[in-house]
Amino acid sequence: MDIDFDAPLDYLPRIKSYYVGLGYGKPYEWAKLDDVPFANLQKPLSAARIGIVTTASLFNPANGEQGPGAPYNGKAKFFTSYAEPIAPFPDVRVAHIAIDRAHTTASDTASYFPLAALLRLADARYIGSVSPNFYGLPTNRSQRVTTQTDCPKLLSLCQADAVDAVVMVPNCPVCHQSTALAAAHLEAAGIATVIMGCARDIIAYVGAPRLLFNDLPLGNGAGLPHDQPSQDLAAKLAVDLLVDATAPRTIKQSPLQWTGAANWKKDYSNIALLSKAEIARLRAEFDAVKQDAAKLKKAL
């Protein structure tokens, strides 16, 4: 398989072939917005209250392994939009979603949750303030539930805190779809949004007002792990896009480059690289994760 390592990874065909290869039959049908709402930021950045929307979940030790390098863990999933204080600094994890576990470990929260970087921008008076709460958005394959349940609740939480704009950070392929749908819902209500994402083709296909594209392995939408300058740059580029974008579907690529192995674009969910035994193992693991998540959802 020839891979152009300088081009963005096309996640849609890769994911389609992966799940078909695992034996799941009919491919998933991704959302596609015909019209993408667009709201201009109504205040200067230096006066704007910025919120963070994340697909990460709050750490709960009762939910099993969730630390750096943890395997895919369905017990850590959440199923409703939430708001939680930014102080004390929250402990959010991404073990419940499909980040690139082969090339990144989620050992640095700041690479997928840009709170520290946004607080530094607020301290520098580059933005007005960070909302006292951050907001969780479920990773939901059901587009109906996302649009009819998760997005309206997220909007009400953001409105309650009088946010002027939000920075949204998806961490997995379906997370990118969820944040794009949520962005449309918030923008229709007058709240400007920008997504900091790693799956450019998914956001472009679904449609979103603004995307800061970081060409990094999934799980690093807010910058390189353990690299504060890259995280600060990503946060600044994201909030700048709230002002600089003049129309929906605006995509800006950051200059950040992955410093780890160059073959991450070849490896991610590549069914062609797997043996029959590996495919059978992954299918069994994925089924077990789905069962854990289904039990948790049923218990709610």
CB atoms within 10 A of CB 120: 18
> What are the φ and ψ backbone dihedral angles of 134, each rounded to 5 degrees?
-110, 170
> Between 54 and 284, where is the model more confident?
54
DSSP helix/strand/coil, 296: helix
Q: Above 60 in pLDDT, residue 232?
A: yes
Sheet strands (E) in 66-216: 82-85, 92-93, 129-130, 133-136, 165-169, 192-197, 210-213
Question: With 80 as the cut, is the pLDDT of residue 67 above it?
Answer: yes
Does 282 or 290 have the greater pLDDT score?
A: 282
Q: What is the pLDDT of residues 241-267, one digit of tens each?
A: 999 999 999 999 999 999 999 899 999
Q: In this structure, what token pair is assigned to residue 68?
A: 């750096």
- In this prediction, residues 80-99 reach a mean pLDDT of 96
How far is CA 44 from each of CA 40, 49, 114, 155, 244, rounded to the nearest angstrom? Answer: 11, 10, 20, 22, 12
What's the confidence (pLDDT) of residue 269?
93
Distance CA 164, CA 221 (A): 21
CA distance 250 to 240: 12
| One-letter identity of residue 120 | R
Average pLDDT rounded to a whole number, residues 74-103: 95
Q: Is 253 helix (H, G, I), strand (E, B) or coil?
A: strand
Say which residue, 287 or 81, is predicted with more confidence: 81
Average pLDDT over residues 9-24: 93
Q: Report pLDDT for 74.
A: 86
Q: Is the pLDDT of residue 296 over 80?
A: no
CA distances in angstroms from 115 to 6, 84, 145, listed in the order given: 29, 13, 27
DSSP-based three-state secondary structure for 192: strand
Q: Mean pLDDT, the chain, as a whole number?
A: 94
Pick from 50-59, 119-128, 269-278, 283-292: least confident: 283-292
Instruction: Count Cβ atoms below 10 Å from residue 33 Cβ, excluding itself.
Output: 16
If one counts every other C-beta atom within 10 angstroms of the C-beta of residue 48, the result is 20
Q: What is the pLDDT of residue 25?
A: 83
Q: Closest by alpha carbon to 126, among 192, 48, 196?
A: 48
